[in-house]
Structure 1
Amino acid sequence: MYKKIFSVYCLLPVLLLIFSAFVNAAEVKDIRVAQQSGVTRLVFELNAEAQHRMFTLSKPDRVVLDISDSDISQAIVNNLAALSSSVLLRVRYAKRDNGVRFVLDLNQQVKAKTTELSAAGDYGPRIMVELEYGKPKTATVVKSLASISNAKRDVVVVIDPGHGGKDPGALGQYNVREKDIVLSIGKELARRLNALQGVKAVLTRSTDEYLQLRDRSRIAREANADLLISIHADAFTKASARGASVWALSLGGKTSEMGRWLAQQEQSADLVGGISLDDKDQLLAEVLLDMSMNSTIQMSLDIGAQVLSEMKGVAVLHKDTVQQAGFVVLKSPDIPSILIETGFVSNKTEAKNLSSGTYRRRLANSIAKGVEDFFTKNPPDDSYIAWRQKQKSGYTYTVSKGDTLSEIARKNGVSLGALRAANTLKNDVIWVGQKLSIPAS
């Protein structure tokens, strides 16, 4: 015990040095996006001036903005996935050389330029990125990440079809390839989830491209994922092996010989959230793992159990409980993650099933149903799903400074008359700290 405490104190000087590098850094406080005819403008608002550089990349089309000696507020990070326009698919970010790199993923080529704007009025220094392109599509409402930081958000599910590109994955009976099967299932799963109100699906790949394991976890982190689902269709040394299964991460021993074998096939490096532990003190590595991953693993097991219960109506199961193994793609300390083995392409029956579009759609639907059931029962507090459930059941609202009764009614989706009636109010006079019952809508 004393050795552990001593080790933590020994780390404090190192942590102070790391944090001191950011004391004087500018911070990205807000990002706003607006679209006009043929132009999308992004404005990056800072609290201090900072140098920047911009360049473009193709195949796929991207614009990269590096802001030096800067950081980004957590509120912006949490809502980065909300930024889009008719040409802007998404905005990603990464910390880089004491600064922040933003990558703007585009759906076509653009002419890009940047302009530095000085502080003025209520605004601090700003960097404006203009994306000029051809005929505009549907107009996009101006979005400000700072203003939507408390908005009702979607539950984000990142779907990762395994392998791809130069890596075909398992090759099975009837010449089926794992990378093709899992991409088809992944796209269908994304379509099913996106059809649910309050759920947003993000694919790590939507084409036949190769992604490293680190890239898959990075995409999930940049999308602020609530869940990562990695989809596979493996082969085994024995053609008799069959059955779908759901896996979560294990920090200790694998739960089966199959788990040891599969983990060995799917990984090439031992990472935790993209950070190698090879050079870390063993005690520090254990503390990092234990503190950050235990609750995440438990949630992964719970989600996996819900998905497995739905899959058994479609597929033969290899195991009827969630299995655990050390898959690299599941090792994001703060993102619940499951890996689904949809079957074994080395088995003739399952290779035939997985070659069927009808079967793949049924399987994707069962996975989507399991995800929907879990988040309906366990929605994140700031999500639309949680808000919708409150609306159905009614709840209590505490009056804050500046609130009016009509505004409270509007924000909570009820009529002013219903709000008065639920609280037996004779007029619209309210006071700070007052508890109001919000009736079911």
Structure 2
Amino acid sequence: MERRRLLAALGSTLLFSFAPIDIAYGAKMVAVRMWPAEEYTRVTIETDVALKFKHFFVRSAKPLRLVIDIEGLELTEQIKKQIAAVNPDDPYIAAMRIGQFKPGILRLVMDLKTDVNPEVFSLKPFANYQHRLVFDIYPKHPTDAVSRILAGMDTDEDASDDTGGDPLASILADLAAGRGASSSGSANGEKPTKEPAKPAEQPARKRDKRIVIVVDPGHGGEDPGAIGRRKTMEKTVVLQIARRLAKLIDAEPNMKAVLTRNSDHFVSLGGRVAIARKVRAHLLVSIHADAWVKSSARGSSVFALSQRGASSSAARWLAKSQNESDLIGGVNIASVDKTVASVLVDMTSSWTIGYSLALGGAVLRELKGINRLHKNHVEQAGFAVLKGQGIPSILIETAFISNPQEEKLLRNASHQQKLARAILTGIKKQLAADSTLLRS
């Protein structure tokens, strides 16, 4: 009797264990996101597992169509609605739709407003994101200078075409190899054995004698940066401050501002480097908002590049988090080889870092007039966006977005203007104290 009961119990257990199991026939969609911008439009499909895909144009169709066949994605009403919800003011995509092409394969069709150079790639899970399939839609004929750089068109004619199709790869390869704007490093990213003279470090200028300042609002697009308790995103407030700073700079008769982004789209660290070097910038100012696990942390900070490690553990942590921006925002790493990646190897000389420290000090003293300082001196760390420039560069943490009071200030238009004015005043005072850049 006990034996029969045991076998019966075991049988029911086996039945209970195997009956509920479902075989997954398709990946589940987590989200569809779209980031329209003049520079390029990004569409991201986030799923719980990796997807296989291929893409091609249908040029005989009117309008021109980009077709992406996706293997393994489950078709749902949710994904149909989200794919169809194209922003009407998107500069490159008129409409999108998705449907079942054949068993196991969905077909995504983009009706295009103009000819484009698409880049389609996948990203592995990182931070809060799962698997992502990314469509970067670059214009084939960009008009403004920054768009041309991001689309990989502002390159030298003798550049080799071995960069795997990434729009930025060829221009970064040029910079890493020493073509284009001058650098203080060798072609393989090593430091020169002899410190070059100051004039040699400054790129040759043509006609325009204004001081060119690249204003770099951090993060953007898929990468929100830090997020405050009131859901304020770092990428949003730093763009607002950067725009104000750029407007003030352009109002100066001897200055010109170039924004690395002027809308909510992602720009890779390499892209920011490429923009600064291709426009032959004299200075780079990267704008950010700090965050910490404790909401009591507050104050403004200024950072410069270090050749010998971070000046504090907090600076090291901050540099690491900022340098992970490419992994969060999404860069087609597979198409960027070691030569391209070497553009982010430090090619900055001791003179450039010295000038950056002086510039940072001048800006920090002005910020002290409108906000408490987190540190009374310029800190140093290995920020990738400050590397490879060959020009004086600083990174400003305007305030702690994780602090409720400072988050409120960062959202305030009047305070944003004060921050922009303080940064410009610090720049002008440094230029007056050391006119090296004015003579270059």
Q: State the 1:95 CA deviation.
A: 3.8
Deviates more, 1:366-375 or 1:90-99: 90-99
Distance 2:432 2:338 in 1: 35
Look up the match of 1:63: 141
1:123-162 matches, within 5 Å, as 151=207, 153-162=209-218
Distance 2:206 2:341 in 1: 39
Contact 1:160–1:203 (Cα < 8 Å) also in 2: yes
1:310-340 Cα offsets, whole Å, 9 max, x none, are 1110111001110001111111251111000
Look up the match of 1:179: 235
Candidates 130, 133, 155, aligned match of 1:94: 155
- Deviating above 6 A after TM superposition, structure 1's stretches of 4 or more consecutive aligned residues are 277-280
* Structure 1 residues 240 and 292, CA gap change in structure 2 (3 angstroms): closer
Look up the match of 2:258: 202
Q: State the 1:378 CA deviation.
A: 2.7
1:21-60 matches, within 5 Å, as 57=116
Contact 1:308–1:321 (Cα < 8 Å) also in 2: yes
Distance 1:372 1:149 in 2: 20
Q: State the 1:149 CA deviation.
A: 5.7
Look up the match of 2:225: 169
1:258-273 matches, within 5 Å, as 258-268=314-324
Count residues with an aligned counterpart.
Answer: 252
1:4-41 Cα offsets, whole Å, 9 max, x none, are xxxxxxxxxxxxxxxxxxxxxxxxxxxxxxxxxxxxxx
* Structure 1 residues 373 and 56, CA gap change in structure 2 (3 angstroms): farther
Candidates 419, 428, 433, aligned match of 1:363: 419
Distance 1:215 1:150 in 2: 23
Distance 2:337 2:301 in 1: 28
- Please, which runs of 5 or more residues in structure 1 have no aligned partner? 1-54, 65-86, 101-147, 388-441
Candidates 406, 409, 425, aligned match of 1:353: 409
Q: State the 1:96 CA deviation.
A: 6.6
Distance 1:338 1:228 in 2: 6
Q: TM-score, normalised by structure 1?
A: 0.52
Contact 2:315–2:379 (Cα < 8 Å) also in 1: yes
Distance 1:150 1:202 in 2: 17
Q: TM-score, normalised by structure 2?
A: 0.52
Q: State the 1:63 CA deviation.
A: 2.5
Contact 2:283–2:392 (Cα < 8 Å) also in 1: yes
Contact 2:226–2:290 (Cα < 8 Å) also in 1: yes
Corresponding residue SS for 2:400: coil
Contact 2:299–2:374 (Cα < 8 Å) also in 1: yes
Look up the match of 1:327: 383
Look up the match of 2:245: 189
Q: State the 1:98 CA deviation.
A: 3.4
Distance 1:367 1:338 in 2: 11
Look up the match of 1:373: 429
* Structure 1 residues 211 and 373, CA gap change in structure 2 (3 angstroms): same
Look up the match of 2:279: 223
Distance 1:158 1:357 in 2: 22
1:159-196 Cα offsets, whole Å, 9 max, x none, are 11000011111011211110001000000000011111
- Cα RMSD after superposing both structures: 3.3
* Structure 1 residues 374 and 97, CA gap change in structure 2 (3 angstroms): same
Distance 1:88 1:162 in 2: 21
